[in-house]
Amino acid sequence: MKRLLPMLFAMLLIGCSAQGAHLIYIPESTPTATPLFTPTPPPEPLPIIVDSVTGMGFLTDENGIPILNETTHYYDYYISFSQMRVFEENGETLIDAVITNDYPKKLSGGLQVMFLNDGVKYGYAELHTAAGDLVLLPGENRVYGDVLTEVDVQMMEYAIEVSVPFVPEQ
């Protein structure tokens, strides 16, 4: 009971204390400041004027590659050489090679192999297939040529040049 009496007394003091509300005053709203100058709008970008394109568009082949040079287009993009050899037989100089045509159709045209030494042309050969002309089927094609020369050209540098532009056959 001795312990209960002080607790009761403490509760009585806390319960009888004065409770008061404190008001917090909010300041009045301040007026919006008016600018001393009028801001200038940002500059508008200048319009870009492009002249209209005139003339012909690009011609493209069946694979969609633009034809920039009609003379060498199919040679540059679709024809490759392998197994080229130059040899002499029965007093004649001959050349044979395998040409790969990566175009989906036949290509017909003409190729000339020139044999050079220090920039001087010592011989040349027109390439042809067994049928006599240069018609390249899709895939690998064996080609031949008779080298017109009066000297041994087997170890000379050579250059391959398009003599008749290649065109696809229908």
Q: What pTM did the predictor assign?
A: 0.64
Domain ranges of the chain: 73-164
Q: Is 10 helix (H, G, I), strand (E, B) or coil?
A: helix
> What is the CATH code of the structural domain delimited by 73-164?
2.60.40
d(CA 100, CA 113): 16
Q: Which pLDDT score is estimated for 135?
A: 94
Q: Which pLDDT score is estimated for 38?
A: 80
Tokens representing 60 are 């493209």
Average pLDDT along the chain, 170 residues, taken 10 residues at a time: 68 62 76 78 88 82 90 94 92 93 94 91 93 92 94 90 91
Ordered alpha helix ranges (H), the chain: 4-15, 73-78
Q: Which pLDDT score is estimated for 29?
A: 78
- Tell me the C-alpha to C-alpha distance, in Å, between residue 168 and each of 16, 31, 49: 111, 83, 41
Q: Which pLDDT score is estimated for 19?
A: 62
d(CA 42, CA 51): 28
Among the listed residues 69, 93, 85, the one whose alpha carbon sits nearest the alpha carbon of residue 152: 93
Q: Is 137 helix (H, G, I), strand (E, B) or coil?
A: coil
